[in-house]
A and B are shown apart, each in its own frame.
Chain A
Amino acid sequence: MNPEFEHLYQALSKVDGFIYPNEIELSWSILIVLYPFITGLVAGAFILASLERVFNVKSLKPTYVIALLTSFAFLLVATMPLIFHLGQPLRAWEIMMTPHLTSAMAIFGFVYLWYLMIVLLLEIWFDYRYDLVLWARESKGIKKWMYKALALGSDDISPKSLKLDDKLGYIVTVIGIPSAFLLHGYVGFIFGSIKANPWWSTVMMPIIFLFSAMVSGIALVMVLYIVINHLRKQKIDMLCLDTIAKYLFYIIIIDFTMESLDQIHRIYEAEESFEIISLLISGHLNFTLLIMQVGLGMFLPLATLGIIQFYKPEEKLRKLIYFITGILVLIGIFFMRWNVVIGGQLFSKSFLGFTSFKLSLIGPEGFLMASIWLVVPFFILAFLLWLFPPWKKTPVEH
């Protein structure tokens, strides 16, 4: 037996019922689970930043810049799992060069670039331009030249220029909100438009992806805000944290409603695929869906955050609860992506059986590689926070 195919022979022995013979190996693995997860964090963090900027939620101000930089750090990594899962990674650029316009996937490169270049980079630049000029004047050595280069030759620190930055930044954010919706709603469409797969093919998919993205992005910024302040030994602005938790609570409710609606609709219509999907949920996905995604990732945070809306324990405990809840929400959304991507490939399109999936430890699609792609954005964020410390920015009233 060729050792290259050993895992496939193992999977073959575990086939349950009948599957088409080409369906033994899952085409999309952990890297494609990461793709919507990371993109969701990008969109969600950005939307939290916009709450402060556009919707004028003043209490969120301490997290505005952190949210933007988080969004940026994760966006830089978002394409990596995609490119590395390709059979021919060196041909990846063909998606941009010769896009096939009927393909939902072909548009990703453009949506991504639009978001990276037009929205995030511009918004961060306008937000930091004034400080970059100041820092370039104050710093020494390499840092001075870095700031100078990043200021792109700008040297104007007049109040008038500051006002213009603010105005342009505002306009970019206003454009950014629909763009963030587009970015993640679109990722949902990639799955939702596959009519061959009843687990994916639902018109709700873009909406569910969007709200779960907001949930995960807000939870991430909440956790990061707690961690950053802990590391810097600074006192946390509890009003800000409470406000984030409040929004997280509301959006989890919407997300929960949307996902429930989708499932209720499935159960009530009970179409051709109903039996196989019921077996999928009660069998192969019972741990990842019922326990991790719904139990730990949704019910528990919903209950905790719900109680906190009425009864607020003392600060230290509240902070701990927010921290744990944020982590649980992130785990829950990760498993939501897992259940969509992996779950959708476990059952045969003949609706007569299941294949199995075992995550390997090493290899390009293994656990370690996936962990790297999840950890790298945090290092990028740490670097960004070092280079552009939000706490050293000149305070500006938007």
Chain B
Amino acid sequence: MTEQKTSLSRRNFLRNAGVTAGTLVITSTLPSFNAVLYAAVKRNTKGPWFGIAIDIEKCIGCGTCAKTCKIENDVPQEPFFFRSWVEQYTIRKDGSLKVESPNGGIDGFKQSVPAEEIEKTFFVPKMCNHCSKSPCVQVCPVGATYETEEGIVLVDEKYCIGCKYCIQACPYGCRYFHPDKHVVDKCTLCFHRVKKGLNPACMDNCPTKARISGDLNDPASEVSKFIRTKNVYVLKPHLNTGSKLYYNALNQEVR
């Protein structure tokens, strides 16, 4: 009885040692686990990899970004189509929340809650998050929506079949169906300008410089410094979209 037990445990020992050694060898070839530093895991690209930063403390809710975007990118003027818009959040003293975005904030805001009831209020500019693990790119059945090597999510309008699956998949409501082109449209981070070394139109026209974009690969870029020095937060981090739109001073109520 004892003998058998010994031989069994020897065999067990050898087997376990083998499994352990094998596991160690295999896992050592894998990249080490990184506690998520930011929502997006950096990519090794030769060129720039774009990210966006918005400082909520600087936003005055003028809506210039949304207005500029429509002009720059020929977005239909009707209040149902937006690549960029601004939301006004008001938290009342009784703890209730009111959110508004009339015409995407293009015409500015009027506070509808009486001043004495307001606990705090702030503006949240919204646009495509240019996610690095984009749900919209994942679901496109023909690959018409894709991420460029610069980390910008685009739609090929000559290729999109207009199934609108990507609109369903985007958790941030950043896509719309273009009424004339009959394809899906979204923020391109002004790709046509960025390619020439210019800033996106919404960023250049923001009077308080509340929004910036730039190269996340370059530690000296303004956007990298912003992320490093402020308490940044992305929208809906639990969905693991790898969002590259970082907000400073984002309230938890914002979705």
Task: Tell me which of A5, A27, A105 contacts B139 (CB under 8 A).
Answer: A105
Residues 326-370 of A contacting B (Cβ, < 8 Å): 345, 348-352
Asked if B142 contacts A87 (CB within 8 A), the reply is no
B57-96 interface bits toward A, Cβ cutoff 8 Å, 1 = contact, 0 = none: 0000000000000000000001111100101000000000
Asked if A20 contacts B172 (CB within 8 A), the reply is yes
Q: Is B194 an interface residue (CB 8 A)?
A: no
Expressed in whole angstroms, the Cα–Cα distance for A195 and B239 within the complex equals: 7
How distant is B247 from chain A, measured CB to nearest CB, in Å? 15
Q: Is A88 an interface residue (CB 8 A)?
A: yes
- Residues on the B chain within 8 Å of A86, using CB: 161-163
- Size range of the chain B interface in the assembly: 35 or more
Q: Is A104 an interface residue (CB 8 A)?
A: yes
Interface of A is mostly: loop
Asked if A28 contacts B168 (CB within 8 A), the reply is yes
Asked if A196 contacts B78 (CB within 8 A), the reply is no
Asked if A18 contacts B177 (CB within 8 A), the reply is no
Q: Is A134 an interface residue (CB 8 A)?
A: no
Interface of B is mostly: loop
Asked if B182 contacts A5 (CB within 8 A), the reply is no
Task: Tell me which of B82, B160, B163 contacts A105 (CB under 8 A).
Answer: B163
Apart from A20-B126, A24-B80, A196-B171, what 15 extra A-B contacts exist at CB < 8 Å?
A2-B78, A4-B179, A18-B87, A22-B81, A22-B173, A22-B174, A94-B161, A95-B141, A95-B142, A99-B141, A196-B239, A197-B168, A349-B171, A350-B99, A352-B255
Q: Is A394 an interface residue (CB 8 A)?
A: no
Known contacts: A21-B85, A87-B164, A194-B168. The answer to whether A100 contacts B141 by CB under 8 A is: yes
Known contacts: A2-B78, A12-B80, A18-B99. The answer to whether A98 contacts B173 by CB under 8 A is: no
- Residues on the B chain within 8 Å of A102, using CB: 137-139
Asked if B142 contacts A98 (CB within 8 A), the reply is yes
Task: Tell me which of A17, A87, A348, A351 contacts B162 (CB under 8 A).
Answer: A87
- Residues on the B chain within 8 Å of A25, using CB: 80, 177
Q: Is B206 an interface residue (CB 8 A)?
A: no
- Residues on the A chain within 8 Å of B103, using CB: 21
How distant is A319 from chain B, measured CB to nearest CB, in Å? 43
Known contacts: A349-B172, A349-B173. The answer to whether A27 contacts B140 by CB under 8 A is: no
Residues 165-183 of B contacting A (Cβ, < 8 Å): 165, 167-177, 179, 182-183
- Residues on the B chain within 8 Å of A104, using CB: 139
Residues 221-240 of B contacting A (Cβ, < 8 Å): 239
Expressed in whole angstroms, the Cα–Cα distance for A88 and B184 within the complex equals: 10
How distant is B243 from chain A, measured CB to nearest CB, in Å? 12
Expressed in whole angstroms, the Cα–Cα distance for A71 and B138 within the complex equals: 32
A interface residues, tally (CB under 8 Å): 45
Q: Is A92 an interface residue (CB 8 A)?
A: yes
Known contacts: A22-B82, A22-B176, A87-B164. The answer to whether A100 contacts B159 by CB under 8 A is: no
Expressed in whole angstroms, the Cα–Cα distance for A299 and B213 within the complex equals: 56
Expressed in whole angstroms, the Cα–Cα distance for A193 and B239 within the complex equals: 12
How distant is A36 from chain B, measured CB to nearest CB, in Å? 14
Asked if A105 contacts B141 (CB within 8 A), the reply is yes
Asked if B101 contacts A100 (CB within 8 A), the reply is no
Expressed in whole angstroms, the Cα–Cα distance for A80 and B239 within the complex equals: 33
How distant is A232 from chain B, measured CB to nearest CB, in Å? 42
Q: Is A8 an interface residue (CB 8 A)?
A: yes
Residues 7-31 of A contacting B (Cβ, < 8 Å): 8, 12, 17-25, 27-28
Known contacts: A22-B175, A103-B139, A103-B140. The answer to whether A88 contacts B160 by CB under 8 A is: yes
